[in-house]
Amino acid sequence: MSKKSASILSFIVIPLFILSIIISRKALIYISGYYPECLFHKFTGLLCPACGNTRAVTAILKLRFVEAASYNITPLIAIIICTALYIELCMYAMGKRVIIIPRNNYFLGGVLAFMCIYYILRNVVLFI
Ligand SMILES: [Zn+2]
């Protein structure tokens, strides 16, 4: 990616996208109440990896991060990783090369293993 396109992306496109989310925050919270319930959870009683994501995003939009983590940590982890990547992109656009998120299989495998363990444990803990 060229520095010019990184600059456009980091200083115009992404801030406008975030601003549009902030502006439409109340509408997003409103429509989240109309999403269908999870069929996997309905028939099995277990939480699938996506269970709680809508409630977590709604809580994030209300700036209730602890409440969001209690529903599902996936959106919070995605926000943390995206923020780190955004910082890397901004630094690249300003001419500095910064690596916050490691680009190797150990990091990716660690994140995936953590998420898999989390998805399993949150079902086990709920049934104790
Ligand atoms: Zn589900």
CA of 52 to the centre of ligand 1 (A): 7
Q: Say how many Å lie between the CA of residue 15 and the centre of ligand 1.
A: 31
Q: How far is the CA of 35 from the centre of ligand 1 (A)?
A: 12
Distance set, CA 102 to CA 7, 21, 88, 108, 110 (Å): 22, 28, 11, 8, 11
Cα-to-centroid distance, 51 and ligand 1 (Å)? 4
Quote the ligand 1 centre to 55 CA distance (angstroms): 12
Maximum C-alpha span of the chain: 54
Q: Which of 42, 41, 34, 57 is nearest to 122 (CA)?
A: 41
Domain count of the chain? 1
How much of the chain, in percent, has pLDDT values that exceed 70? Answer: 98
- Whether 87 contacts 98, CB under 8 Å: yes
**What residue numbers bound the domain in which 12 lies?**
3-126
Query: Across 11-126, where does the E strand assignment appear?
Result: none
Residue 128 has pLDDT above 60, yes or no: no
Confidence band for 1, pLDDT divided at 50, 70 and 90: confident
Q: How far is the CA of 122 from the centre of ligand 1 (A)?
A: 12
> What pLDDT, in 10s, does the model give residues 60-84?
999 999 999 999 999 999 999 999 9
How many Å lie between the centroid of ligand 1 and the Cα of residue 74?
13
Query: If you measure from the C-alpha of residue 48 to the centroid of ligand 1, how many angstroms do you get, rounded to a whole number?
Result: 4
Phi-psi region of 110 (alpha: psi -120 to 50; beta: other; left: phi over 0): alpha
Which of 6, 71, 83 minimizes the C-alpha distance to 32?
Answer: 71
* Confidence check: pLDDT of 105 > 80: yes
